[in-house]
Chain A
Amino acid sequence: MTDGLTNRRGFLASSAALAGTALAGCSGGSASGDDTLTLGVLEDRSGNFALVGDPKHKASMLAIEEINNDGGIDGKQIEVFDPDPQSDNQRYQELTRRAINQKNVDALWAGYSSATREAIRPIIDREDQLYFYTTQYEGGVCDKNVFAVGPTARQQLGSVLPYLVEEYGPKIYTIAADYNFGQLSADWVKVLADENDAEVIGEEFIPLSNSQFGSTINRIQSAEPDFVMSMLVGANHTSFYEQKASAGLDVPIGTSTAMAQGYEHRRLDPPAMANIYAGVNYMEEIPTNRNTSDGGFVDRYYEKFPDAPYLNEEAENNYFSIYMYKKAVEQAGTTEQPEVREALESGITYEAPEAPDGESIKLDGATHHVDHHMWVMRADDQHNVEAVDDRVIPETFLSETVGCDLTQEDEETQYTPQDFYEEAG
């Protein structure tokens, strides 16, 4: 019986200790203390966008770990609030509210699709939360709380379209996903064609749920373009590349969406992606020292995540924007969001992996967008990817055409090319 008593006493003691530890652990999870700050990272790791969202999450964790190991931001360690929104916009809304109201995040990175951004923008604007949107998108968001640091359609298409016109000729056929991003990108193709003495001879918009492209391929063949501009989005649309290859369609294709985000050149059998030109600010294969040299971005990423399948475009956007945030906080001397916002608007630069040695990319304070170093990356018959062109393309739509200046005037709108260009209408 003594055994039983000791056991019971022991059990009581250990459970008390356990409870105590548990309670102690419970005290965290609130606003940034004196020696920590909290960043919210809401990226999809399941659901429709898991393929492209997962690298974003991973690269964010890499940046945060590197910064913490280096002493943190202004001596403060970074804590992270990173639940999985599961590609569900309602969850995004709910998690955004939680991040702002419960976790009091000092800055928020959230969302892959534009729909997600638009779903949470009302909350962001209501709470005046500092928010980084890091996916490539159609462009035009002029919002005092939003820093859209991914490349815009104008930047991406503006890098690849002129190159292809010079290489192949002026007749363009556009195929795009039938929703906001695709339609607006197609408008940009028309504007850019006009600026480059080229002509859009045909357009087709394909519903996101469609995965059968027989008639599309035939239509392209009948139009006989010099090259095709493709803004197809999503897993269903990826089937287009396989189907066009098996149909023997080998017209060159310029794209802003394929390869860099969903690494189709790794997943599909060659030569599905042969002769495809991606206009992007970043892909795992871009040939800069910061990216591909020993100990460079790619090496560091795979050291932390040896099982990751690819390091995609948006991952780099998350990575450099976290470092830009660090710079801004250190410049402002505080984590208070209005001051940090001002610091960001003063024109922060950073030596991002997408820029060659000696160059850095700049966050334009007036428009909250980035003047990216753009690359044209071509995949060959064996799906080897090489760079054929590169240069810096500044953001011009908001700054020059629309006249969006967030340092002067607070705004919360999204502009589209139709209002400004005849060609797009």
Chain B
Amino acid sequence: MVNGLNLLFQFLDSFAFIVLAAAGLAIIFGIMGVINLAHGEFIMVGAYATTLANIRAGLPLPAAMLVGVLVTAGFGLVVERVVISGTVPNALSQRFLGRKVIEPLYDRLADSMVATWGLSLIMVQGVRITLGNSLDQIGTPLGNIAYSGFSYSTYRVMLAAVALGVLALTYYVFTRTEYGMRARATIQDEDTARALGVDTERTYMTTFAIGSGLAGLTGALYAPTITMVPGLGSSFLVEAFVAVVVGGPSVVLGTTLAGGLLGAINATVSNVLGTFFGRIALLVTAIVMIRFLPDGITGFVETLRERRQEGA
């Protein structure tokens, strides 16, 4: 019984981590076809901004987290304009050379990997040079839940609720707002969307900013629990990529299901066999899932649905 409660908390912890790590990446990869290898560094920006706002500027934690999100979203906007779509360099080159020099990175998986890899090098080293090898850390708020000899950090369990909230919010944004409709139209068929008057450029820009903002949120939320070193992003990267791939094309549902499945496996195996096997189990599950469901979970669901419609 007690171990069941342990397992529940560990699962919620793992679920939250995977979902929050993957959220921003799923949006950017799913909608723009860009693999952002600097995703971990965006998380780092959010965590650093939050920590600096809280410790150096003295803002209360929730306000500091908001600062973290906004700073990262703003940074994402800049990156999108300069690197991903190349609008700013193109505008400049148009003026001086009379032609565009950069193609947007949308749907160019390999090229976006190289570009964002370069970006991540610049970000990590840039932060190291300007802010040093580490920052002082914010303490974890909210105490703990104690039960018959065990205890779990309340904050970490609460993150699971936050993760669900993020998913719900993303779902709302993508299905109920103007922007969401435009974004889904652009994913489905960019040319038609543009022909129908959708400003696809602005849609991409907003999408990247939202994805970056979500990464910043992850950083902000986890800032009180991890060490603030410039390379902190790399500990999120594996889970993020694995979840995005296992989840499949549907951003919200895929991330939720992937978080649930991988979180459950990781938590259960860690609980029984230790963290080493938990990690191996996570990675092996990913490989097996991709082998048997190459389109991810939601892709598989889609195929089933199509097949059933055809059969009916």
Contact = CB atoms under 8 A, between A and B. Distances in A.
B270 to A, nearest CB: 4
Given A46-B128, A214-B10, A218-B150, A242 B226 contact: yes
B133 A209 contact: no
Interface in B119-143: 125, 128, 132-140, 142-143
B301 to A, nearest CB: 29
A92 to B, nearest CB: 18
A221 B149 contact: yes
Interface string B267-279: 1001100111011
Interface residues of B, number: 48
B156 A214 contact: yes
Size bracket, chain A contacts: 35 or more
A215 B153 contact: no
B160 to A, nearest CB: 11
Given A50-B133, A309-B134, A243 B153 contact: yes
B300 interface: no
B156 A309 contact: no
A267 interface: yes
Interface string B37-73: 0000000000000000000000000000000000000
Contacts of A178: 276
Specify which of B14, B135, B275 lies most central, judged by the most chain A CB atoms within 10 Å of its CB. B275
Interface in B161-216: none
B144 interface: yes
Interface in A195-225: 204-207, 209-218, 221-222, 224
Contacts of A399: none
A90 interface: no
Contact of A246 (B3, B153, B275, B279): B153
Given A246-B144, A269-B139, A211 B235 contact: yes
Contacts of B142: 246
Contacts of B271: 215, 218
A206 B229 contact: no
A243 B17 CA distance: 14
B125 to A, nearest CB: 7
A403 B125 CA distance: 46
Nearest to B155: A246
A248 interface: yes
28 contacts: A54-B133, A205-B276, A206-B275, A207-B275, A209-B238, A210-B275, A211-B235, A213-B275, A214-B10, A214-B152, A215-B271, A215-B275, A221-B151, A222-B3, A222-B6, A222-B150, A239-B227, A242-B139, A242-B225, A243-B225, A245-B139, A247-B152, A247-B153, A248-B146, A248-B151, A266-B136, A268-B139, A269-B139
Given A51-B133, A206-B274, 11 more contacts: A178-B276, A213-B275, A214-B267, A235-B231, A235-B232, A242-B225, A243-B140, A246-B156, A247-B151, A249-B151, A309-B134
